[in-house]
Amino acid sequence: KQEVTQIPAALSVPEGENLVLNCSFTDSAIYNLQWFRQDPGKGLTSLLLIQSSQREQTSGRLNASLDKSSGRSTLYIAASQPGDSATYLCAVAPGGGADGLTFGKGTHLIIQP
Amino acid sequence: DADVTQTPRNRITKTGKRIMLECSQTKGHDRMYWYRQDPGLGLRLIYYSFDVKDINKGEISDGYSVSRQAQAKFSLSLESAIPNQTALYFCATSEGFSYEQYFGPGTRLTVT
């Protein structure tokens, strides 16, 4: 059974810092990995999708990498801002014909002004 | 208007009651999903549907049923609600397998 772990569970940093969120998964047979942002009381917003054949994806100040063989992904946030405060979720799509995402429990990020 | 909508947004019900959560989408996607989110457990897949004729169980389908009334509508039912079904429920859509998933705003369900 696929398991997704996110470290750290919570992180608080001053505004302007660059930071890295980590995600690991136990079964490397995945089709893609997706990073989401969740704000309190709201739904999930997709940030980046990395297909299993890709190594990284970038969107603005966000960069996500994928090392499928080692079962790891990182989300890099450059020049953090208070508006980046949210919970960040990592999710993997399985191979083998199944569907649906397996999620980590998230990293709760606070950017201090 | 939001692409994926869920109704109701909040619901309080009593143990043993039947309840239906509804999801509608305007994205034209074939695939739709239901997840639940519990504190400390993350999101888990309940059911998913490839099209109106195809329904599949997810990791935690016991105690739930679904109906795909049309390409744009996917409903989740709790036939006899119990307190441990108290959670935040999300609907999601996808254009196809291995494509990005888009989530609705969620329904907060409380079973007393």
What is the structure's pLDDT at B14?
Answer: 97
Test B50 with A51 for CB contact under 8 angstroms.
Answer: no
Q: What average pLDDT score do residues A56-73 get?
A: 96
Name the pLDDT band for B97 (thresholds 50, 70, 90). Answer: confident
The structure tokens listed for B92 are: 């999601």
What is the structure's pLDDT at B110?
Answer: 97
> Minimal Cα–Cα distance from B33 to chain A, Å?
7
Q: What average pLDDT score do residues A38-51 get?
A: 91
Residues in chain B closer than 8 A to A91 (CB atoms): 43, 101
Taking CB atoms within 8 Å and a gap of at least 24, the contacts of B35-41 are B35/A100, B35/A101, B35/A103, B35/B89, B35/B90, B35/B91, B35/B92, B36/B60, B36/B87, B36/B88, B36/B89, B36/B90, B37/B87, B37/B88, B37/B89, B37/B90, B37/B106, B38/B87, B38/B88, B40/A105, B41/A105
For residue A98, is pLDDT > 70? no
DSSP bridge partners of A57: A64
Q: What average pLDDT score do residues A51-63 get?
A: 95
Residues 6 or more apart whose CB falls under 8 angstroms from that of A60 comprise none
The pLDDT tens digits for B19-64 are 999 999 999 999 999 999 998 888 999 999 998 899 999 999 999 9
For residue A76, is pLDDT > 70? yes
A23 touches chain B (CB under 8 A): no
Residues in chain A closer than 8 A to B50 (CB atoms): 99
Residues in chain B closer than 8 A to A44 (CB atoms): 90, 92, 103
The structure tokens listed for A85 are: 């405060």
Q: What average pLDDT score do residues A50-58 get?
A: 93
Test A44 with B44 for CB contact under 8 angstroms.
Answer: no
> Minimal Cα–Cα distance from B105 to chain A, Å?
4
Placement of tokens 């990498």 in the chain = A65
Residues in chain B closer than 8 A to A31 (CB atoms): 97-98
A54 touches chain B (CB under 8 A): no
Test B106 with A49 for CB contact under 8 angstroms.
Answer: no
Q: What average pLDDT score do residues A82-107 get?
A: 90
What is the structure's pLDDT at A111?
Answer: 97
Name the pLDDT band for A96 (thresholds 50, 70, 90). Answer: low
What is the structure's pLDDT at A99?
Answer: 80
For residue B2, is pLDDT > 90? no
Average pLDDT, chain B: 93
Q: Which helix (H) or strand (E) holds B112?
A: none
